[in-house]
Amino acid sequence: MFKKVVWTIGAIGLASCIAVTFFVIDTHLNDLEQSSSEPAAIWTLPSSTPKPKQPDIVTYWKNQEKKSAQSGYTDAASVYRDRIAAYSVGLPSISPLTDNWPIIQSPSAIMELYIRVPSIAESSNFAKHEPASGAYIGMLGADRRVGYDVTKIEDVYGRKHALYLAYVGWRKLQTDTNTYFPARTAERVKELGGALQIGWEPRFGLDDVQDDEYVRRFAREAKASGIPIFLRYASEMNGAWVPWHGNPQQYREKFRLIHDIMAEEAPNVAMVWSPNFSPADTIDDYYPGDDYVDWVGFSLYNTPYSADKEQLKGTVLDTFAPLYKRYSHKPIMISEGAIAHTYLPTNQTYWSWAEGQMGYMYGLLPRLFPQVKAITYFNFSRAQAIRTNGTYVYDIGENPFMDGLYQRLITSDWFLSKVESGVDPIQYRYTPVLGQSLPIGKQTVIVNPKLENERGEPPFAIAIYQRNQLLGVSYEAPWEIEIQVPAESATEPWYAIAYNDKMEPTAISKGSTSTE
């Protein structure tokens, strides 16, 4: 039986964006994946659009199906075949919003629409090593394939990275170079034309942090490296798991001390103040002040469990949004972040869910939060997790879905492979669509489908319409859609429909006139 769709409109406060409630059928399909592109039979990109650097979506799925089969991932290969089959079926031919359109049940998500507009240069006063736009891609190469050899990252993941993450123990001598600074790693990074992010950890507590020869020598050796350095000093200070937690006033004093020494000895060092995303209520207490912080960093993770209970609803955007609002006056880096795809206590895998979350972290997050100027993936293998009594596996290469999607997403011009101050590769930004209508002509829009369903399942496809006219469709994060709005449709309200991999409508949203 078919009934009319019921509309509900709601508002969300994030950055004054209008969020529209839509109804979702919780299908519990583990194979719902987000991947995209526009089928030629339905929508063709304008001729002025640059050719993509990656294959179209169907070719990508075919390539992934072949790779998965060859690697012994038969279940993954089957999922890619199902996606190709679903794509070939196409969108429903039934006219939307008519009496015979299927009812959509279980209100469980909200959807936000953004439109691309030209960038407006607000300032040329950038922080140290800050690009004007775009985001540096970075990685901790502790995964199975790279094995801490940073020279392998480009070959393994298909693109040169700008940042390489290393950790340094307090007062630890690097015996191979007789330095306190990780000189050997810095030499390799310099050969790659990259920059180094250093997690410098005062493991003996803050009382041991002094203006002494150890700190001064470390600073001089950092300068001698001749590369851009992002010094993430005493990070995650808001968490009780580190020995430099618990005394915000002393922490602020020590951070300022290290800042002043670096400013005097090592002008190539940018100071990164980097709390963990949780607990959030004490973060502000540890902030040293704008004069002492070049970049704000966050450790940002998404895992399938929370407090020992499965929790798949939501995305990293939900967690990050309030932090961004408080600190976006500074350039922000995800100094370490990852998506867990395996829960080690039960050895249960969440490959499909993790792929969807990867799309949010690398597809939507940098575009909707443009002050995020760097993302460093914490690529930690199963073996390393077991050795350190970890709970999750983050290794991209141990999940065929994440592996393919990560390599696909970082081909975007949005991601930068070289640290250069003031570089401005992105001449546009995205702003929320607050009304019912869309501007006339060629437009580019992005849809953020906020995942309120309990399984955290993203759509398989999202299409934009006016009345019964399809404007465009996407099959992958960041759900970017090229549309053509006719002049005669200028006053017609837009609406978006999400589909699952059976091409059944699972969500619908409509433009709102609210501006709250």
Question: Whose structure tokens read 């994030």?
Answer: 14
Question: Whose structure tokens read 């050795």?
Answer: 387
Per-residue pLDDT of the chain (516 residues; tens, 9 = 90+): 333 222 322 332 323 333 333 333 333 323 323 333 333 333 333 333 343 456 899 999 999 999 999 999 999 999 999 999 999 999 988 766 666 676 665 544 578 999 999 987 666 789 999 999 999 999 999 999 999 999 999 999 999 999 999 999 999 999 999 999 999 999 999 999 999 999 999 999 999 999 999 999 999 999 999 999 999 999 999 999 999 999 999 999 999 999 999 999 999 999 999 999 999 999 999 999 999 999 999 999 999 999 889 999 999 999 999 999 999 999 999 999 999 999 999 999 999 999 999 999 999 999 999 999 999 999 999 999 999 999 999 999 999 999 999 999 999 999 999 999 999 999 999 999 988 889 999 999 999 998 878 899 999 999 999 888 899 999 999 999 999 999 988 888 898 999 999 988 888 887 653 333
pLDDT digits (tens, 9 = 90+) for 163-203: 999 999 999 999 999 999 999 999 999 999 999 999 999 99
Sign of CA dihedral 65, 66, 67, 73: positive
* CATH number, domain 94-115+429-510, options 1.10.3470, 2.60.200, 2.30.30, 2.60.40: 2.60.40
Beta-bridge partners for 300: 337
User: Could you tell me whether strands 229-233 and 269-273 are parallel, antiparallel, or unpaired per DSSP bridges?
Assistant: parallel
| Residue intervals in the chain for CATH 2.60.40 | 94-115+429-510
Which region, left, alpha or beta, applies to residue 246 given φ > 0 means left and ψ of -120 to 50 means alpha?
left
Active centre residues (catalytic): 236, 336
CA 222 to chain CA centroid, nearest Å: 29
Specify the fold of 123-426.
TIM Barrel (3.20.20)
CA distance 434 to 13: 12
Nearby residues of 368 by Cβ (< 8 Å), 6 or more positions away: 114, 317, 430, 446, 448
CA distance 240 to 507: 41
User: Could you tell me whether strands 195-201 and 229-233 are parallel, antiparallel, or unpaired per DSSP bridges?
Assistant: parallel
- Consecutive H or E run containing 1: none
pTM for this prediction: 0.87
